[in-house]
Amino acid sequence: MVGLVPLLAFWFLDGYYLWQERLFRRLYDDVRRSTSGTDLLSMNVATYRVQTTWASAAFSGTLLLLLLFYGALW
């Protein structure tokens, strides 16, 4: 059971970083379009949190395969 805590912690962190990456990709896509009206130097991703959730990133195919890898280490 002790090995389960780091397994879940790393899965949570991987999901969090993948979620942040997806949010910034959406922001970048809006900034590169000239018709979006988004400030060029904006780092505010709050408007994209409705479209992209942490759960969608954490339960993506990539992280589920990684969870299997971590599970093998457990």
**Which pLDDT value is given to residue 21?**
93
d(CA 68, CA 72): 6
pLDDT in tens, 5-39: 888 888 899 999 999 999 999 888 888 887 767 77
Mean pLDDT throughout 1-7? 82
Does pTM top 0.85 for this prediction?
no
CA distance 19 to 14: 8
